[in-house]
Chains A and B, each alone.
Chain A
Amino acid sequence: MARNEWPLYEVFIRPKNGLSHKHVGSLHAADARMAVENARDVYTRRGEGVSLWVVPSAAITASEPGEKESFFDPADDKIYRHPTFYTIPEDVKNI
């Protein structure tokens, strides 16, 4: 039965212009056009968005949660990437 299941799409909504599209959930559809129409009916019944993206779930490549630490580690010890790393006298304004 699963062989004939409609493919899964991930749904992204832009709540209003000026904001990014945000993942809201997923749905099954026969093709991308149907996915867009179904996403409208399922995820935007109350003015939740002004723009919709659908992406085949199979097309997403994700980082490995199990490797989260080693993967994001390199950024953790680079405190010099943050503004507070630098000491500026209080008398100096607007910086």
Chain B
Amino acid sequence: MYTQGLDAKPADNTIPFNRTDPELERRFQERVDAEEKIEPRDWMPDGYRRTLVRQISQHAHSEIVGMLPEGNWITRAPTLRRKIALLAKVQDEGGHGLYLYSAAETLGVSRDELVEQLLSGKAKYSSIFNYPTLTWADIGTIGWLVDGAAIMNQVPLCRCSYGPYARAMIRICREESFHQRQGYEIVMTLAQGTPEQKRMAQDSLDRWWWPALMMFGPSDDASAHSAQNMRWKIKRFSNDELRQKFVDATVPQAEYLGLTIPDPDLRFNAETGHYEFGTIDWSEFERVLKGDGPCNRERLEARNKAWDDGAWVREAALAHARKRESRAAAQNQAGARGRA
């Protein structure tokens, strides 16, 4: 569903690779400048590789953890139509996680290492998934705002300089728009329903609006790696540019629903053609990112439990495959002896 601008964090040093080489780096940058794609076995600077592994795996983790808040409502969806749509959406998120893990693995990191980084709490994932889904309206709001923000962020990633990431993003973007539309439809149904339903939709928007804006990551002046990532064409727009696009696109959608964006400072600037909005509470963002959001512990516990509970299945499947393999080999040998 989404990668966050978490690039203000120091790079991890788990993936050792090429030494620096000014000549190779110059040629690399030339290729990037010429909009040529970089493919897995091409030479690339260490920093580029590390940044991509971090970003793609954070993105993958976000997809996987993102299944939890929505999964919470599958059994309680109000109708069968809503239920099959939500099931399909959550299944998509799982698929997106897998495309992205595969893309990250092309950079020389193993799936198990990536999973381990998530389960131990070492890896980050999008802060938005550490908020609880308290009512059915939240499922609509997540589709509308969270997937909407994700699309804003992900469409430019389809042109990322790293081939496997760009290709994964193209697949993902193609599937995301169904998510956003199903979300908006849920909110619309509530907003046009009974006063109680409308209140539920408004309450949900009140709770998700600011966390959704935080999804774009720290503001540009606080984002340390932003310029380098732009040069490498991993990123095409800054966090603040994307956030502004999101606000501009979303405010009219809220107006259509007759819902109020919970920001007293929000106003349209006719001169710039953009909406101006209030200050984001970055201390909340930092707190949630550091692990003290409403659901951080619950999310990690759920992922760890799923991994541990599934261990016997993974082991049994592998043992079964190995047994069949050795049986087939033994039969081949016997066959060869028979012919001799």
Chain A residues at the B interface, C-beta cutoff of 8 Å: 1-2, 4-6, 8, 24-28, 30-31, 34, 41-43, 45-46, 62, 64-66
8 nearest A-B pairs in the assembled complex, by CB-CB distance: A30-B317, A31-B321, A30-B321, A65-B41, A26-B102, A1-B112, A5-B112, A2-B112
For residue A2, give the distance in angstroms from its CB to the closest CB of chain B: 5
The closest CB in chain B to the CB of A48 belongs to B171
- Give Cα A46–Cα B98 distance, bound, in whole angstroms: 16
**What's the Cα separation between A1 and B114 when bound, in Å?**
12
Chain B contact patch, size range: 20 to 34
The residue from B110, B314, B324 contacting A2, defined by CB atoms under 8 A apart: B110
Instruction: Specify which chain A residues have a CB less than 8 angstroms from the CB of B203 in the assembled complex.
Output: none
Across the interface, do A4 and B99 meet the contact criterion of CB distance under 8 Å?
no
Instruction: Give the docked Cα–Cα distance between A5 and B113 (Å).
Output: 10
- Please, which residues of chain A bring their CB within 8 A of the CB of B320? 30-31
Let me know if B98 and A42 touch, CB within 8 A.
Answer: yes
Answer whether residue B91 sits at the interface, using C-beta atoms and an 8 A cutoff.
yes
Other than the known A6-B314, A24-B171, A31-B325, what 12 A-B pairs have Cβ atoms closer than 8 Å?
A5-B112, A8-B105, A25-B164, A25-B167, A28-B111, A30-B314, A34-B317, A41-B91, A45-B92, A45-B175, A46-B175, A64-B41
B11 beta carbon closer than 8 Å to chain A? no
Complex: chain A residue closest to B316, CB-CB: A30
B317 engages A6 (CB within 8 Å): yes
* B187 close to A (CB within 8 Å): no
Given contacts A31-B324, A66-B43, contact A2 B318 (CB under 8 A): no
Pick the most buried of A1, A2, A28: most chain B CB atoms within 10 A of its CB. A28
Q: A8: which B residues are within 8 A, CB to CB?
A: 105
Distance in angstroms from A4 CB to nearest chain B CB is: 6
By a CB distance below 8 angstroms, the chain A residues around B167 are 25
In the complex, chain B residues whose CB is within 8 Å of the CB of A30: 314, 317-318, 320-321
- Contacts A26-B105, A65-B41, A66-B43 given; indicate if A5 touches B95 (C-beta within 8 A): no
Q: What is the distance, in angstroms, from B324's C-beta to the closest C-beta of chain A? A: 7
| Residue from B42, B111, B116, B324 whose CB has the most chain A CB atoms within 10 Å | B111
Least Cβ–Cβ distance between A21 and chain B, in angstroms: 16
Is there a chain A Cβ closer than 8 Å to B39's Cβ? yes
- CA separation between A82 and B200, bound complex, in Å? 68
In the assembled complex, 6 residue pairs joining A and B whose CB atoms fall closer than 8 Å, in A order, are A4-B315, A6-B318, A25-B103, A25-B171, A27-B98, A30-B321
List of A residues within 8 angstroms of B103 by Cβ: 25
Tell me the nearest residue of chain B to A62, going by C-beta: B41
Chain B neighbourhood of A46, CB < 8 A? 175
B296-331 CB contact bits vs A (8 Å, 1 = yes)?
Answer: 000000000000000000110110110011000000
A4–B322 alpha-carbon span in the complex (Å): 11
Minimum CB–CB distance from A26 to chain B (whole Å) comes to: 5
B213 to chain A, nearest CB (A): 31
The verdict on B168 contacting chain A, using a C-beta distance below 8 Å, is yes
In the bound complex, residues from chain A placing their C-beta under 8 Å from that of B314 are 4, 6, 30
B148–chain A nearest beta-carbon distance, Å: 21
- Determine how close the nearest CB of chain B comes to the CB of A28; give it in whole angstroms: 6
Inter-chain contacts of A42 with B (CB < 8 A): 95, 98-99
Given A1-B112, A25-B99, A45-B91, check contact A65 B39 (CB 8 Å).
yes
Nearest opposing residue in chain A for B320, CB measure: A30
What residue of chain A has the Cβ atom nearest to residue B110's Cβ? A2
Smallest distance from the beta carbon of B241 to chain A beta carbons, Å? Answer: 30
Residue contact B95 to A45, C-beta cutoff 8 Å: yes
Interface centre among B99, B102, B171 (most CB of A within 10 A): B102
Q: Taking the nearest CB of chain B, how far is it from the CB of A19, in angstroms?
A: 18
Residues of B within 8 A of A4 (CB): 314-315, 318
Complex formed: what's the CA distance from A87 to B112 in Å?
60
